[in-house]
Structure 1
Amino acid sequence: MHSAIKFRVLGPVKALQRGVWEDIRSAKGRAVLSTLLARRNQLVTVEKIAESCWEDPPATAACLIRRQVMKLRRDLVGDSIKTMPGGYMMELGDSCVDCAVFEGHVRSGVSKLSRDLLCEGGQELHHALTLWNGPAFMDAPQTPLICAERDRMNELRALGAVYWSRSLIATGRHCEAIPSLAGLIMEYPLHEGLREQWMAALYLSGQRAKSTSEFHDLRERLISEIGMEPRLTTKQLHMAMISDDCTEVRRIALDSGRASS
């Protein structure tokens, strides 16, 4: 289904070469490629690329970047990198980059759920989530430009997971959501939309004591780390769980999917 993908950034940055996914071994080459992929089809200035390669760019930065671009063209990307006035642009269709394919699946899946196509939407969201192989841009330099795209992808991943879980709960398959949500909670422990789905799935699966303990864990984390109480929806879910109101727990979980968008 994803045979057109040539570059991965949802995990370590990789390029497809002769049917094999290859790491970008050169740190400078990886920095240049990551920066261009984070802003594909847009001009990226030499100055922005230099920020990803050096803390204090040398006077010869433009020349050194040009050499890296030539090497990337020769070894990996061909003429996908275009030289532009003041910088470079990586020209790629959305089907060539895993993050763009992921984003398309999430938006399509959410759209299907909004039309009550629960199985179809859930399946598409599941395909989207399977594209991840670790934190986005995992081995790329953490410059403001790359971090902004990484954070956007992470939020979209959490949103996709919330909607995917909602599709399972709506069709009575809440147990299937638990393993994936457990892993995502480890990565995004303060994301209340994910936590709500996790608590609801646990409760509906009969793990009621664990579901309420998860609420207390979230509340303690929110207060200690960002000085905030859980949002109203999370508190309402907790009240429904301790009141043993299965119908209300299910309703809140499904509304939580909508509210998280």
Structure 2
Amino acid sequence: MQINLLGPLSVRVNGIDVTPTAPKTRRVLALLAIHANRVVPNQLLIEELWDDKPPPSVTTTLQTYVYQLRKHLNTRLPSMGRPPQSERPRGEALRTYAGGYLLSLSPDALDWLRFEQLTQRGRAELERGEVVTAVRTLREALALWQGPALVDINPGPLLQVEALRLDEICKSALELRMDADLRLGRHHELLGELTGLAARQPTHEGFQGKLMLALYRAGRRSEALDAYQRARETLVDELGVDPCDDLQHLHRAILAGDPALNVPGANTLRNAPRVDADNRIKREVEWAQARPA
């Protein structure tokens, strides 16, 4: 089984698309998948589906949705015949427990779990100084995103929080990958991506700072200073706050032409393959373009 939540909901069993179409069944599946391998109490499912207005027959109705979901997950096409022993499940993926339900899945069966694992690996590689490897790992992680998390589900209160959490983790991974690319001297390749992100998320100070640094390293100091002024005005107008200390420090360093802003050691750059960022990262930033900061 494979369940994807990073973009449109997708469920495949033995290569067959069995994605449910009923809105509430989809929400039950998404909440169980977010909490895979843990018992999700009935009360949480009820809160997600009906908030504070459950129907009188709420227990029976919830059982009906779970029954419908179980039928989807147990789908077998007649032409497929009996699956090989190695592909047969050891037990039901969706299990009933006292007071709740559990969706049993391996980490490889969930795109959001694979994304978190790859992001953690990329962060560790970056901390060890394995910058080129870290970029590859983080690109692999970000390629799992096909749009904003849970984009085609009408979420209740719990899934709304989870969607925001996943999108924030994605932004963090994207910033990490940009940091690594900047360390490798790829500021020219990043300019197009960063310009778009900064325009679409004008209050995201991390993206604004990286755009300023990339512009400065590309010999466009006046444009880097202009980017700071735009960011400052937006933060003041929309949020009523000044730029964070890091952004202000970067601004002062650009004004002073601080050598610390230059690309790190040339030895690293000689071994770093250049990439066509416009082609290879297009899908990585679609989620960011679709959601406001």
Name the TM tier (shorter chain): 0.7 to 0.9
| TM-score (structure 2 length as normaliser) | 0.75
RMSD, aligned α-carbons: 2.4
- Work out which structure has the larger RCO, using CA pairs closer than 8 Å and 6 or more positions apart in sequence: 2
2:71 corresponds in structure 1 to 74
* 1:23 shift after superposition: 5.0
Distance 2:132 2:262 in 1: 21
Q: Aligned to 1:233, what secondary structure does the other structure show?
A: helix
Q: Aligned to 2:55, what secondary structure does the other structure show?
A: coil
Distance 1:203 1:86 in 2: 58
Contact preservation (8 Å) 1:240, 1:249:
no
Distance 2:263 2:60 in 1: 59
1:134 corresponds in structure 2 to 147
Distance 2:44 2:199 in 1: 32
Q: Which moved more, 1:82-91 or 1:46-55?
A: 46-55
Cα deviation, 1:70-120, whole Å, max 9, x if unaligned, reads 221221367222111111111212111111111111110010010100100
* 1:231 shift after superposition: 0.9
Contact preservation (8 Å) 1:109, 1:122:
yes
2:218 corresponds in structure 1 to 205
* 1:184 shift after superposition: 4.2
Distance 1:99 1:134 in 2: 12
Q: Which moved more, 1:90-99 or 1:78-87?
A: 78-87
Asked if residue 101 in structure 1 is aligned to residue 101 in structure 2, the reply is: no
Cα deviation, 1:103-155, whole Å, max 9, x if unaligned, reads 11111001001010010011101111111111112223433322332222222
Q: Which moved more, 1:46-55 or 1:104-113?
A: 46-55
2:286 corresponds in structure 1 to none
Contact preservation (8 Å) 1:7, 1:13:
yes
Q: Aligned to 1:82, what secondary structure does the other structure show?
A: strand
Q: Aligned to 1:159, what secondary structure does the other structure show?
A: helix
Contact preservation (8 Å) 2:8, 2:151:
yes
- Alignment CA distance shift 1:46-1:176 (3 Å): same
Larger Rg: 2
- Number of equivalenced pairs: 247
- Alignment CA distance shift 1:182-1:85 (3 Å): farther
Q: Aligned to 2:47, what secondary structure does the other structure show?
A: helix
2:8 corresponds in structure 1 to 12
Cα deviation, 1:17-49, whole Å, max 9, x if unaligned, reads 553666542101111111112222222222221
Show structure 1 runs of 5+ residues with no match.
252-261
Distance 1:21 1:124 in 2: 28
Distance 2:247 2:29 in 1: 41
- Alignment CA distance shift 1:17-1:90 (3 Å): closer
Q: Aligned to 2:254, what secondary structure does the other structure show?
A: helix
Asked if residue 48 in structure 1 is aligned to residue 44 in structure 2, the reply is: yes
Residue pairs, 1:1-261, within 5 angstroms: 6-17=2-13, 19=15, 23-55=19-51, 56-76=53-73, 79-185=92-198, 188-245=201-258, 247-248=260-261
- Alignment CA distance shift 1:166-1:225 (3 Å): same
* 1:68 shift after superposition: 1.6
Distance 1:175 1:99 in 2: 31
- Alignment CA distance shift 1:19-1:111 (3 Å): same
Distance 2:233 2:19 in 1: 40
Distance 2:257 2:162 in 1: 41
1:257 corresponds in structure 2 to none
* 1:195 shift after superposition: 2.2
Distance 1:65 1:230 in 2: 48
| TM-score (structure 1 length as normaliser) | 0.84
